[in-house]
Amino acid sequence: MCTEKERYQRIVQKGVSPFECDIATGDAAHEMMVKQYARSAADQERPLPHELRSEKIMNHAMCYLLHNILDEFPESADQRAAWYNFLWSRTRALRKEVTQLSMSDLLALNLVERCTRLHILFGYVLCDLETEHFDTAMNNETLGKCLQTLRHLYEDFAKRGIPCENEPEFRAYDVMLHMNDTNVLSQVLSYRSDVRQSQPICLALKLAGAFRDKNYCRFFRLLKNEATFLQCCVSHKLFGATRSNAISIMVNSYGRNAFPLEKLRNILAFDLIEEVTETLNIYGLRTESESDHVMLTKDGLTLNESVPMKPYQWIDQKKTGKLSQVVYGPNLFQFFASRCDVSNSFNHRNEYTNDKVLEAVLDGSNIPVSSDPSAFSFAQSAGSLSMQATMEQKRKMEVERIKRKLVFEDSPTSVQAFLLPAQMIFQLVDLLELEIHEFSVLAP
């Protein structure tokens, strides 16, 4: 799930996430490390082929993140911020590789769809965090980029005649994300007829119409009765604007009349009456501590104040399974967690032992390699390539020196030769690695 070079680089630079460390020892676990997102830069070299993950590994990495990280939802704000940053970085790296590999198959579509659901989920479950822990604007920007990528993929699949079963779902998310955009209707008209007439698109258009018409009763009724969990998560960011419009309409309509808090809670989709009174107090409407009514008056009314966002129980009850199942999609999510083997070039003694390229080079040479792994490492027995080159150069120089000794010193008219010394013959055999078949000696 992470290249070996990046693993060692991050270990040296202290860039290993706590989610990639062994729980018992606290050390970095190579089988738990997932490729981290790195921003593109002008001086950054293009990745080599072996630095990009295969489609099988990318799918495994996504399933691993959903099963081992997403389902472990932390409690404290700091832990949830680290949880979000880890998932954002790793899924962003997946989307970057989809672009680098120019993938346009079903796996690429599934990966981007799951990333889109994941950021929809982030916007809801982390809405109560401070800006220093969770940036809503950045999450919405990433969500918009995911939906834009899906638009291109759906158009490409349509040209090739390949149906996409989840297209209505994500087209509806796109409409809900831009409810306050007046061009959303013209965007829907560009969809295919089967997508326009699908249930998610019809619901999204109803919600968009209710929001623009400030029909707050219909808006929350549709969400409670017809919307799915993720559709409520997308629309959740518009709750504040819808309730502000509702209170403004009520104040102008009822004018200095008391209104039941329980009825207001039900209309505006609050969980508790305490939440209603807290919101009304922010807007400048005061309620008596023992009263179950609120006086709707314009005195002191300030609707420009922002109300803190929070999750709601009636939305959580729409979630039928784990978070991993929500993000994975309508199909059953099955992932068998196991500690998969990773490729390491170093053994437990930090010796360089597993270089496929170097092994291929040395397999074609006569350089002896020790077969006993317990005595020496591969690098120790064979030596480095630079050392081998130096040894070969010295060998050639010694051969030339010996050759210069093998000359005839007498005149060419006299036929004279000499016997080669036995030590010199052994040096030739050892240095040249040649088999000496016969030496002819010329007599004077």
- Same domain? 216 vs 100: no
* Full DSSP string of 56-82: HHHHHHHHHIIIIIITS--SSHHHHHH
- Distance CA(251)–CA(254), nearest Å, equals 6
- Same domain? 133 vs 190: no
Higher pLDDT, 146 or 1: 146
- Same domain? 67 vs 205: no
Is 134 domain-assigned?
yes
- Same domain? 365 vs 226: no
**pLDDT, tens digit, for every residue of 267-325?**
999 999 999 999 988 888 887 767 788 888 887 788 877 888 999 999 999 998 899 99
User: 176 and 208 in contact (C-beta within 8 Å)?
Assistant: yes
- Assign residue 27 a region (left: φ > 0; alpha: ψ between -120 and 50; beta: otherwise): beta
- Same domain? 10 vs 147: yes
Q: Number of structural domains, the chain?
A: 4
Return the beta strands (E) in 16-109 as ranges: none
- Distance CA(65)–CA(52), nearest Å, equals 18
Return the beta strands (E) in 250-390 as ranges: 257-260, 293-296
CA dihedral of residues 421, 426, 427, 430 (deg, nearest 10)? 170
Is 178 domain-assigned?
no
Is 64 domain-assigned?
yes
Is 170 domain-assigned?
no
- Same domain? 71 vs 6: yes
- Same domain? 8 vs 74: yes
Among 51-65, 111-125, 193-207, 346-360, the range scoring the smallest mean pLDDT is: 346-360
Other C-beta atoms lying within 10 Å of the C-beta of residue 315: 21
Is 135 domain-assigned?
yes
Q: Is the pLDDT of residue 43 over 70?
A: no
Is 324 domain-assigned?
no
- Same domain? 145 vs 89: yes
Is 21 domain-assigned?
yes
- Same domain? 25 vs 156: yes
**pLDDT, tens digit, for every residue of 69-80?**
998 898 889 999
Q: Is the pLDDT of residue 335 over 70?
A: yes
Is 103 domain-assigned?
yes
- Same domain? 25 vs 141: yes
- Same domain? 23 vs 149: yes
List Cβ neighbours of 404 (8 Å cut-off, separation of 6 or more): none
Cross-strand bridge partners of residue 346:
352
Domain of residue 402 covers 392-444
- Distance CA(149)–CA(36), nearest Å, equals 21
- Same domain? 399 vs 376: no
Q: What are the backbone angles phi and psi of residue 168, rounded to the nearest 5°?
A: -60, -35
pLDDT-derived band at 220, boundaries 50, 70, 90: very high
**pLDDT, tens digit, for every residue of 351-363?**
777 666 677 776 7
Kindly report the CATH number assigned to the domain that includes residue 233: 1.25.40.990
